């Protein structure tokens, strides 16, 4: 999928319309206030574009997992002041997303104002993709704009069914995601490398196989690497191991060899006897991990190996840390990947981070997300996009639909 496949916000006549916008304001709250407003700021371009067109903007979002019941701790009420501050427009908050409270707030909104409706997931019909519920949501506007990339892999009423009742288009945040992820997968500047980390092979086996059809270099790190190392007949000590995935790891290595993809695995490790920070560690000379020790980060040889290979590439996709970066003793590898991507971005390399823990690495390493070409706002959605899966919220925006 690429940008030419979907209907965009610029394609529609929006002047003075009531526009319903699905956003992802599933933000962290602390002491009754938004603790990190990045997801709100990510929608600024879309919302200000609509306000400049004289629209009344009605925002739909979820927050947390209230499981279809009203739960005050998951109310979007604390989000409204932050939206007002970022967008520079009056925000009316409605205590429900359908019914009299929502209808009254929408009816009272003036041109150039915003209405933030209460948490969609207070209603079980949202996650059930209920058409009657979606029709009520659609009743708040004349046009629907999808700008919640973090939710497009879900077939919910506010991402899928609602598009049956209103002309629908992609906002600028969605467009940026499709531009970078779609462009990297369909027509990347080469050499194209993917760095895939994380704990388990089972979580990433589909994306690994999908990427082998697209990349020139595949770098594997994190806990999942130990299953590959074991598959090579090497010792992994007490490291995280999915013994039932060894054959799948062998199949990935065989596919990489058959396709001429350079597959890089850790060549040394930072190890400890316990899964804990601030305790004695050793760094191995090679890929074998001694008995009684567990691998918790890549070692200096591996860092240099990965850095040198990435420096040869023109497009890099990264998803997943290569060590237990949350602990200072095992953060060097993941921080090195983050710093390498930031450095290469300045040199013109297209660098894409697939959300989730990789973004947390940037934050912990004190690197701005703007230091890379694109930091995806949807971890699960970005991985499903890379895997080639159908994303209902995007499929609903296809021009042919």
Catalytic residues: 39, 200, 356, 380
Q: H-helix or E-strand containing 124?
A: helix 124-127
- How far apart CA 184 and CA 328 sit, in angstroms, is 32
- How far apart CA 13 and CA 354 sit, in angstroms, is 33
**Which residues on adjacent β-strands are paired with residue 91?**
114
- How far apart CA 334 and CA 101 sit, in angstroms, is 47
Residues 6+ apart with CB under 8 A from 346: none
- How far apart CA 398 and CA 4 sit, in angstroms, is 9
* Cβ count within 10 A of residue 39: 22
Residue 169 has φ and ψ, to the nearest 5°, of -150, 165
* Cβ count within 10 A of residue 69: 10
Of 396, 391, 351, residue with least CA distance to 375: 351
**Which residues on adjacent β-strands are paired with residue 143?**
19
Residues 6+ apart with CB under 8 A from 99: 136
Q: What distances in angstroms separate CA 352 from CA 10, 179, 373, 376, one per listed residue?
A: 25, 11, 6, 7
Q: Which one-letter DSSP state was computed for residue 236?
A: B
- How far apart CA 12 and CA 80 sit, in angstroms, is 27
- Both tokens of residue 20? 């319903």
* Cβ count within 10 A of residue 185: 22
* Cβ count within 10 A of residue 274: 11
- Both tokens of residue 94? 């409605």
Q: Find where tokens 């992609």 sit.
A: 170
Torsion of CA 30, 331, 40, 154, to 10 degrees: -100
Residues 6+ apart with CB under 8 A from 150: 24, 26, 39, 355, 377, 378, 379, 380, 381
């Amino acid at each position: 999928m690429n940008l030419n496949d979907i209907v965009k916000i610029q394609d529609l006549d929006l002047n003075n319309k009531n526009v319903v916008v699905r956003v992802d304001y599933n933000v962290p709250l602390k002491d009754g206030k938004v603790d990190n407003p990045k997801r709100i700021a990510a929608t600024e371009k879309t919302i200000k574009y609509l306000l400049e067109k004289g629209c009344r903007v009605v925002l739909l979002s979820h927050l947390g997992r209230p499981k279809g019941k009203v739960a005050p701790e998951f109310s979007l009420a604390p989000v409204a002041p932050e939206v007002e501050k970022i967008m520079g427009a009056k925000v009316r908050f409605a205590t429900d997303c359908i019914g009299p409270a929502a209808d009254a707030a929408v009816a009272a909104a003036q041109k150039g104002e915003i209405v933030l409706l209460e948490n969609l997931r207070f209603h079980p019909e949202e996650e059930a993709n209920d058409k009657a519920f979606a029709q009520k949501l659609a009743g708040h506007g004349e046009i629907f704009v999808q700008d919640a990339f973090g939710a497009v892999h879900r077939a919910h009423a506010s991402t899928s069914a609602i598009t049956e009742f209103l002309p629908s288009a992609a906002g600028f945040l969605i467009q940026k995601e499709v531009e970078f992820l779609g462009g990297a997968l369909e027509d990347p500047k080469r050499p194209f490398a993917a760095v895939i980390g994380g704990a388990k092979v089972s979580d990433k086996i589909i994306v690994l196989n999908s990427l082998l059809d697209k990349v020139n270099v595949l770098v594997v790190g994190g806990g999942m690497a130990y299953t590959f190392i074991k598959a090579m007949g090497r010792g992994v000590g007490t490291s995280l191991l999915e013994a039932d995935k060894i054959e799948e790891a062998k199949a990935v290595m065989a596919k990489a060899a058959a396709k001429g993809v350079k597959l890089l695995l850790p060549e040394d490790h930072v190890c400890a006897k316990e899964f804990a920070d601030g305790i004695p560690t050793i760094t191995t000379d090679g890929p074998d991990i001694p008995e009684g020790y567990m691998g918790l980060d890549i070692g200096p040889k591996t860092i240099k190996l990965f850095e040198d290979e990435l420096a040869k590439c023109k497009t890099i996709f990264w998803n997943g840390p290569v060590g237990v970066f949350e602990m200072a003793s095992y953060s060097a590898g993941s921080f090195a990947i983050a710093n390498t991507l930031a450095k290469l971005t300045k040199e013109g390399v297209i660098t894409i981070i697939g959300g989730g823990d990789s973004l947390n690495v940037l934050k912990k390493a004190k690197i701005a997300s703007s230091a890379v070409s694109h930091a995806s706002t949807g971890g699960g959605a970005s991985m499903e996009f890379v895997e080639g899966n159908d994303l209902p919220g995007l499929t609903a925006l296809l021009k042919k639909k």
